[in-house]
Structure 1
């Protein structure tokens, strides 16, 4: 992730486009490393189908694990670049309740656990490269927060699935360039990353 930020600083670029460009850059780096590691074994061949399947599953699992963690870390980096202080304005990987860990809490786990802290100033954010059925995992991640924000890079969902998310109080966040991939009827109900960051700024201490 650090190498990607170095190659694609993009500090004058809107957060939505910055996130996507860095993700593309990181995948190119990952693919180069992956080929260097895996191609020699593939070219050497396999003596059993079981050996081939095992290798292929390991490659696919590594790709999935990298992709999800990558989105989370790039989101954290953009929060910091946009002036949000870790530990004061947001917390990465906190525990909301026993056994529940949203990717991000705003402004902090301490504020979330303080009964006197107003729920109207609390936010949570989950990050998932694709949501499909996995969006339901977000619903119970922070009991005090009624609306769950979910950042995804999935290129489109059906109108029916979007209605189901909305009814469950899940607010979809999608980088602005990807919104055109969604049905026209729901595009105006999708929040961009930049818009979400604007909402967070309004929650800062001293803001009415």
Structure 2
């Protein structure tokens, strides 16, 4: 159930609600958000996941500025980006990008 205080376009169940519905009991919650473009909206993910150490954000946006990706990294926000889009980022930025396949593997191993 979406949080009424949350303006996210991708509502996520609260942890207690997730645990109360054992539809996939072997998988822990893996909160993630998706936004077509980040601009300044990536900061919403930080507010939505205050209790999470690492937040995940999937986006199709190409070439986000180094300033923004450095700030995201400092805030423990992991960008999830399709591998074909990685080439639009500077080499230093690419070391911190998580391919979509990699994020799926993290969910499976969590």
Fold shared by both chains (TM-score > 0.5) = yes
Quote the offset at 1:168 in angstroms. Answer: 1.4
2:100 aligns with one of 161, 172, 193: 193
Quote the offset at 1:126 in angstroms. Answer: 0.9
Distance 1:156 1:101, change over 3 A: same
TM-score (norm 1): 0.43
1:132 aligns with one of 34, 39, 58: 39
Distance 1:104 1:188, change over 3 A: farther
Query: Unaligned stretches of 5+ in structure 2?
Result: 20-27
2: CA distance, partners of 1:130 / 1:171: 15
Structure possessing the higher relative contact order (Cα contacts under 8 Å, 6 or more residues apart) = 2
Higher helix share: 1
Q: CA RMSD in A?
A: 2.2
Q: 1:99 aligns to what? A: 5
TM-score (norm 2): 0.78
Number of residue equivalences: 100
